[in-house]
Amino acid sequence: EVQLVESGGGVVQPGGSLRLSCAASGFTFDDCAMHWVRQAPGKGLEWVSLITWDGVSTYYGNSVKGRFTISRDNSKSSLYLQMNSLRAEDTALYYCAKDCAAGTLDYWGQGTLVTVSS
């Protein structure tokens, strides 16, 4: 059974940092690109970042570029999102999702909530 389990969310002050993790199981992790997508409370989906299967290439949404860093450890079947210089508008539920078929997000985790507030 495919599982993606996010962790690391919490409450952080503006300007602070947080590192999210996503533990993957039930599929061949290093066959797949991986994404982070976020959803502010009561709002729609916003794509955050993508990392290729080998970790060589990374891509970011305009609103997080220069502040967030995506990475992965294929030996641990884990995905990460380092978030720095956090702002109130980064408050959201952060999902990790796998991409094993040319770009679609074919399975999503349950998400981890990040709240940026003083």
From residue 70, alpha-carbon distances to 49, 56, 74, 80 in Å are 7, 11, 13, 6
Contact with other proteins (CB under 8 A) among 109, 112, 114, 116: 109
2 touches other proteins (CB under 8 A): no
Min dist CB 13 to other proteins, Å, is: 27
Please report, as residue ranges, which positions from 36 to 75 form the binding site for other proteins (by CB under 8 A): 37, 44-47, 50, 59-62
In order of 85, 104, 113, 114, the CA distances from 55 in angstroms are 23, 18, 25, 24
| Smallest distance from other proteins to CB 8, Å | 17
Q: How many helices (H) and strands (E) does the chain have?
A: 0, 11
Q: How far is the CB of 88 from other proteins (least distance, A)?
A: 21
Q: By three-state DSSP, how is residue 115 classified?
A: strand
Residue 20 binds to other proteins (criterion: CB under 8 A): no
Min. distance of Cβ 59 from other proteins in angstroms? Answer: 4
CB proximity list for 82: less than 8 A, separation 6 or greater: 17, 19, 68, 69, 70, 71
State which of positions 68-107 bind other proteins (CB under 8 A): 95, 101-107
Point out which residues bind other proteins (CB under 8 A).
35, 37, 44-47, 50, 59-62, 95, 101-111
